[in-house]
Amino acid sequence: MKLLVIGGGGREHALAWRLSLSPRIHKVFVAPGNAGTAQDRGLENISITAIPELIEFAKKEKIAITIVGPETPLAAGIVDAFQAADLRIFGPVQQAAQLETSKIFAKEFMQRHNIPTAAYTSFKDPALAHQYIDQHITPLVIKADGLAAGKGVVVAQTKEQAYSAVNNLLVEKNLGGVESGIIIEEFLQGIEVSFIVMTDGRHILPLATSQDHKRLYDGDLGPNTGGMGAYSPTPFISPDLHAKIMHDIIDPVITGMKEEGINYCGFLYAGLIITAENQAKVLEFNCRLGDPETQPIMLRFKSDLFTVIEHAVNGTLDQIDIVWDRRAALSVVMAAHGYPENPRKGDVIHGLIDLTTEQENTDNFHIFHSGTRMDGKDGKEILTAGGRVLCITALGENIKIAQQHAYKLVEKIHFDGYQVRRDIGYQGINYQQRKQ
């Protein structure tokens, strides 16, 4: 059988790679893919992004199931379009994807279904937003309503920062996703974690837990990014807390969608904060896998991913379980010079050839490509082509050993101006050391 994965980042590389390992799969097409998906065995890039053309391709190639990686095609209604064409696809319909595409929709939905989250108010008028800031203590969190590629959130430590964020979003409109306005919400103190599940609309299958690192610099300093690294599993989610998250957050989302006449089939990502009282509250929902969380999760995933997705599309997700590698996995993102504001493209990446050969013979690590392309005199040079360039992902007996393994691999790769955090996994490592 043949599959189609939509997207061109690290998340899609990890998905396509894991899907290609299924003995039932002959080929995985990736649209548009990157230099990594161009090289991995069993994967093939196609330079198609328009939904009608993708539908025609899926029909022509007799694609068994299409899997959607990023949020933009979900927001554009790719699932609805494929289903209307009688094609099998895994991902939420446009109406369900509003959980991610509109912060206001998500907040109102959580209120309706009593899902724990931060208190908030929405604004379209900057003057009213300024008045609200005057009346509340900082820090405050300002978010663009719509999609902003992980960069539409400002944690304002002072009122001046809050005013500036409001003006940036509502007056200068320097970021997409503000057509419907912004929200200002209370700042929640605690540990951020990622909780991702698969669902067929009735049954829910949780994936391994993980923790992302959104800030550019060590110690969670600097600007927000799409994510500079992640690890799995996270020790901050105990079995008891896991059960509570399922009961208080995940189950109400899926049943709430059903009550509102929406069948949610796809991945659901809950970005959570664990408070000092060990309570989980929702920071945001994404209607797809996280990036870079997917990379360590997929490295630990030992079941046949295609079979699991097939069950989800068939509505029989209760008939299957996932086997996980007992080891921890950790991913380090190598980002381009100038990321996140103005990433430089076209730098030659050195050191990948030997590692790409080595990873064919081991399950201990994998180099997932995000923003890369093939070029050069012979077409075999790999160049930077985006903000986040590579995601170096390695396994280890615990988070610390996985971290050491990943950074040893990072040292073998070089491109001009690259940016790397050196502390991915530090919260989980510190927590485990305190528990010893």
Secondary structure (3-state) at 301: strand
Whether pLDDT at 176 is above 70 = no
Q: Which CATH superfamily is domain 125-180 in?
A: ATP-grasp fold, A domain (3.30.1490.20)
Whether the Cβ atoms of residue 391 and residue 292 lie closer than 8 Å to each other? yes
pLDDT digit string, tens, across residues 339-394: 999 999 999 999 999 999 899 889 999 999 999 999 866 777 999 999 999 999 99
Q: Please, which pLDDT band fits residue 146 given cuts at 50, 70 and 90?
A: confident
Residue 209 token pair: 């837990």
Mean pLDDT lowest for which of 118-122, 146-150, 426-430?
Answer: 146-150
Q: Do 269 and 195 form a contact (C-beta atoms < 8 A)?
A: yes
Model confidence at 435, pLDDT cuts 50, 70, 90, reads confident
Task: Give the contacts of 2 (CB within 8 A, at least 6 positions apart).
Answer: 25, 26, 27, 28, 29, 61, 62, 63, 64
For residue 170, what pLDDT band results from cuts at 50, 70 and 90? confident
Structural tokens at position 112: 């309706």
Could you give the CA distance from residue 110 to residue 122 in angstroms, rounded to a whole number? 14
Q: Model's pTM, two decimal places?
A: 0.95
Q: Check residue 168 and give its pLDDT.
A: 84
233-274 pLDDT, tens per residue?
999 999 999 999 999 999 999 999 999 999 999 999 999 999
The answer, yes or no, to whether residue 174 has pLDDT greater than 70, is: no
Least confident of 143-152, 196-205, 261-270: 143-152
Q: What sign results for the dihedral spanned by CA atoms 108, 112, 74, 82?
A: negative
The whole-number pLDDT of residue 377 equals 64
Among the residue ranges 133-137, 274-278, 318-322, 407-411, the one predicted with the least confidence is 133-137
What are the boundaries of each domain within the chain?
Answer: 2-91, 125-180
Whether the CB-CB separation of 16 and 289 falls below 8 Å is answered with no
d(CA 136, CA 281): 21
Neighbours of 348 (CB within 10 A): 13
* C-alpha span between 87 and 121 (Å, rounded): 40
Q: Reply yes or no on whether the pLDDT at 180 is more than 80.
A: no
> Which range has the worst mean pLDDT, 177-186, 207-216, 263-272?
177-186
Band of pLDDT at residue 119, cut at 50, 70 and 90: very high
Q: What is the mean pLDDT of residues 322-342?
A: 97
| pLDDT in the model for residue 151 | 56
Q: What percent of the chain has pLDDT over 90?
A: 83
Residues 270-289 pLDDT 10s: 999 999 999 999 999 999 99
CB count in 10 Å sphere of residue 35: 25
For residue range 23-52, what is the model confidence (pLDDT) as tens digits? Answer: 999 999 999 999 999 999 999 999 999 999
Q: Beta-strand (E) ranges in 214-320?
A: 215-217, 221-224, 229-232, 266-274, 280-286
Percentage of the chain exceeding pLDDT 70: 97
Mean per-residue pLDDT over the chain, rounded: 94
Tell me the mean pLDDT in the region 78-93: 98
pLDDT at 149: 57
Question: Distance between CA 39 and CA 236 in Å, rounded?
Answer: 36
On the 0-12 / 13-18 / 19+ scale of CB atoms within 10 A, 125 is exposed
The answer to whether the bond into 206 is cis (omega within 30° of 0) is no
CA dihedral 125, 130, 134, 140 (to 10 degrees): 100
Instruction: Give the pair of three-digit tokens for residue 139.
Output: 């820090």
Q: Which two tokens stand for residue 339?
A: 């990321």
Q: Virtual CA dihedral for 121, 127, 130, 136, nearest 10 degrees?
A: -50
Residue, of 241 and 179, whose pLDDT is higher: 241
Judged against a pLDDT cut of 70, whether residue 213 lies above it is answered with yes
Residue 253, classed as helix, strand or coil, is helix
Task: Fold for 2-91, please state it.
Answer: Rossmann fold (3.40.50)
